[in-house]
Amino acid sequence: MDFPVVFDIFGVRIPAHLVFESLAYAVGFRLYLWLRQKTKDPVDNKSRLTVLVAAIVGAAIGSKVLAFAEHPELWPMAQADPVYFIASKSILGGLLGGIIGVEITKAFAGITRSTGDIYVFPLLTAIAIGRMGCLLTGVSDGTWGNATHFILGFDAGDGVIRHPTPLYEIAFLTSFGLGLWHAQRHLQLEEGDFFKIFIIGYCVWRFGIEFLKPVTTYNVASDLNIVQNVATTGALPAFLGLSILQLSALAGVTFYAAFFLQRRLQRGENGRA
């Protein structure tokens, strides 16, 4: 297989990334509509539309902000060519930005109930489909891993055997989704808990998998210098640092873990009252 993969659709050559990204949006949104009808969404239409628009706007902003923070070298390229600005996106940035957008909007609109649970499976599905596009785009997508001798590694188009991290994420999302489906059916969760668990799980995954990628890291052990991990067959990353994305993932985990801890402590105090 030659990377990046390009499909010939009715005589038009379309990059695999664009095909699967479009498919991800379409399938994810259709699944959301189906779930809303099937589960009889308790959130009224006006409130649902409000938070949905807020999520889309917040996700669009967060996706760009984290993408350029993670890969600052893309910003000059984006200024010179709008294609780079459009193409530069971060899934984690989109999720966290969407959350921030929704929470700000709910505060102003007076919406008090949790609204995220219905988005879990559409998001899981859309991310998994989108990652297939990342996989087929190869190393130029910027989501592939470092050089490796691991049995699952293969050439992404630059002559280097790399970790196919998009493939790893597809496998994770599949197993994580099955686990969440089981939890939803067998656990008594409060409204909003399902979405919070999803965010915690995905943030933990992204924190871990980023150690396998050639990203700019903030190295605490080296006087807080910026360190570039260069993935080549002869030079694997020499320093263990944290990237901006990993710090963002830690922030997401910490925020929701603190929420569950605080609720548990409050219930303990109420039980002793």
Token pair listed for 194: 């399902």
Winning range, highest mean pLDDT, from 10-14, 41-45, 167-171: 167-171
pLDDT in tens, 85-137: 777 899 999 999 999 999 999 999 999 999 999 999 999 999 999 999 999 99
In a domain, 161, yes or no: yes
Q: Which domain holds residue 191?
A: 6-42+113-271
CB neighbourhood size of 168 (10 A)? 17
Model confidence at 78, in pLDDT bands (50, 70, 90)?
A: confident
This prediction has a pTM of 0.89
Report strand pairing: 161-162 vs 216-219.
Answer: unpaired
pLDDT for residue 110: 94
Give the chain's mean pLDDT: 87
Residue 218 backbone phi and psi in degrees, to 5: -100, 105
Mean pLDDT over residues 132-151, rounded?
Answer: 91
d(CA 213, CA 119): 28
Assigned domain for 49 exists: no
Q: Is the pLDDT of residue 175 over 60?
A: yes
For the residues 216-227, what does the mean pLDDT come to?
45
Task: State the CB neighbour count (10 A cutoff) for residue 225.
Answer: 12
Domain count, the chain: 1
- The residue type found at 41 is D
Whether the ω angle into residue 4 lies within 30 degrees of 0, i.e. cis, is yes
In a domain, 25, yes or no: yes
Q: Is the dihedral of CA 20, 26, 29, 32 positive or negative?
A: negative
C-alpha dihedral (236, 238, 240, 245), degrees to nearest 10: -60
95/72 Cα distance (integer angstroms): 20
> Predicted confidence band at 216 (pLDDT cuts at 50, 70, 90)?
low
Q: Does residue 91 belong to any structural domain of this protein? A: no
Place of tokens 């067998």: 186
224: left (phi over 0), alpha (psi -120 to 50) or beta: left
Residue 180 in domain: yes
225, HSE (Cβ side, Cα atoms, 13 Å): 8
Domain membership of residue 167 (yes or no) is: yes
- Does residue 239 register a pLDDT over 50? no
CA 175 vs CA 134, 198, 200, 202: distances in Å: 19, 12, 15, 12
pLDDT surpassing 50 at residue 226: no
73 falls within a domain: no
Angstrom distances, CA of residue 154 to CA of 82, 102, 146, 150, 200? 31, 40, 11, 9, 30
Tell me what percent of the residues of the chain surpass a pLDDT of 70. 89
Instruction: Please check whether residue 217 is in contact with residue 242, taking contact to mean a CB–CB distance below 8 angstroms.
Output: yes
Rounded Cα–Cα distance for residues 194 and 260 (Å): 12
Residue 55 lies in a domain: no
CA–CA separation, 146 and 165 (whole Å) = 9
* Over residues 35-50, mean pLDDT: 91
